[in-house]
Chain A
Amino acid sequence: MNLSVELEAREDVPAWLVYGTPVFTVVGALALSAVALVALSVNPVAAYGTMFVETLTNPFGLRQTATRTVPLVLTGLAVYLPLRAGLWNVGAEGQLYMGAVVGTWIGVNVSLPMVALVPLAILGAGVAGGIWAGIPGYLRAKWDVNEIITTLLLTFVAVQIASYLVRGPMQGGLGNIPGSAELLDAAKYPTIPVLEVHAGFLVGLLAVAVTAVLVARTRMGFEVTFVGSNPLAAAQAGMSTARVYLFVFLVGGAFAGIGGFSEISGVQGRLRPAFSPDYGFTAIPIALLGRNGAVRVLIAAVFFAVLFVGGSRLEVSYGVPAALVDVIQALVILCLITAEFFKRYSVDVQLAEERTPTDGEPGGAA
Chain B
Amino acid sequence: MVGFAAGLLDAAVRASTVFIFAALGEIISERGGVLNLGVEGMMLVGALGGFATTVVTGSYWLGFAAGMALGAALALIHAFLCITLKSSQVISGVMLTLLGTGLTTYFGTDWVNESIDGFPQMTLPLVGEYLVGIPVIGEAFFRSTAPDFIALALVPTVWWFLFRTNLGLEVISVGEDPETADTMGVDVFKMRYLCVLLGGAFAGAAGAHLSLAFSQLWATGMVAGRGWIAVALVIFAQWRPERALVGAYLFGLLDALQLRSQGIDLALDPASPLAGVVNPALELLMHPTIMSTYPYLATIVVLVVTVVRFDDSRLGAPSALLEPYSRETD
Chain A interface (Cβ within 8 Å of chain B)?
A: 7-9, 36, 88, 90, 139, 143-146, 148-150, 152-154, 156-157, 160-161, 163-164, 167-168, 281, 284-285, 288, 321, 323-327, 329-331, 333-334, 337-338, 340-341, 344, 360, 362-363, 365-366
Contacts and interface: CB of A to CB of B under 8 A. Distances in A.
Contacts of A337: 81, 85, 87-88, 91-92, 95
B94 interface: yes
Nearest to B227: A152
Nearest 8 pairs of A and B residues by beta carbon:
A326-B102, A365-B189, A330-B99, A323-B106, A323-B105, A333-B95, A164-B289, A153-B296
B296 A157 contact: yes
A327 B214 CA distance: 27
B83 interface: yes
B225 A156 contact: yes
30 contacts: A8-B328, A90-B94, A145-B304, A149-B231, A153-B225, A154-B296, A156-B224, A156-B225, A156-B296, A157-B293, A163-B289, A164-B287, A167-B289, A326-B98, A326-B105, A327-B99, A329-B102, A330-B99, A330-B103, A333-B91, A333-B98, A337-B81, A337-B85, A340-B88, A341-B86, A360-B327, A362-B189, A362-B326, A365-B84, A366-B80
Interface string B83-115: 111111011101110110111011001000000
A134 to B, nearest CB: 14
Find the residue from A9, A139, A288, A327 having the highest chain B CB count within 10 A: A327
B99 A341 contact: no
A307 to B, nearest CB: 12
Contacts of B109: 321, 323
Contacts of A281: 98
B307 A160 contact: no
B95 A334 contact: yes
Contacts of B193: 365-366
Contacts of B37: 148
A170 to B, nearest CB: 13
B102 A146 contact: no
Interface in B38-90: 77, 80-81, 83-88, 90
A251 to B, nearest CB: 21
A163 B296 CA distance: 16
B299 interface: yes
Contacts of B289: 160, 163-164, 167
Contacts of B224: 156
B285 to A, nearest CB: 11
Given A164-B287, A323-B102, A146 B235 contact: yes
Given A148-B37, A363-B84, A153 B106 contact: no
Interface string B289-330: 110110011011001100110001000000000000011110
A88 B88 CA distance: 12
A149 B97 CA distance: 13
A11 B105 CA distance: 42
B228 A341 contact: no
Given A164-B290, A167-B289, A326-B102, A143 B225 contact: no
Contacts, number: 143
B33 to A, nearest CB: 14
B83 A160 contact: no
A144 B312 contact: yes
Give the size range of B's interface with the partner. 35 or more
B91 A149 contact: no
Contacts of B91: 288, 333, 337
Contacts of A153: 225, 228-229, 232, 296-297, 299-300
A264 to B, nearest CB: 20
Contacts of A164: 287, 289-290
A160 B106 CA distance: 24
Give the one of A9, A288, A363, A365 with max B CB within 10 A.
A365
A323 B94 CA distance: 17
Nearest to A167: B289
Interface string B202-237: 000000000000000000000011001101100100
B299 A149 contact: yes
Contacts of B105: 321, 323, 326
Contact of A152 (B83, B187, B228): B228
Contacts of B292: 160
A285 B91 CA distance: 9
B84 A366 contact: yes
B42 to A, nearest CB: 13
A156 B292 CA distance: 9
A150 B80 contact: no
B259 to A, nearest CB: 15
B307 A88 contact: no
Contacts of B293: 156-157, 160-161
Contacts of A148: 37, 90, 94
A68 B294 CA distance: 33
Contacts of A167: 289
A366 B196 CA distance: 13
B106 A326 contact: yes
Contacts of B80: 366
Contacts of A152: 225, 228
B189 A334 contact: no
A307 B264 CA distance: 48
A173 B200 CA distance: 47
A331 B328 contact: no
A343 B328 CA distance: 17
A340 B303 contact: no
B87 A160 contact: no
A154 B98 contact: no
A327 to B, nearest CB: 4
B106 A327 contact: yes
A258 B237 CA distance: 38
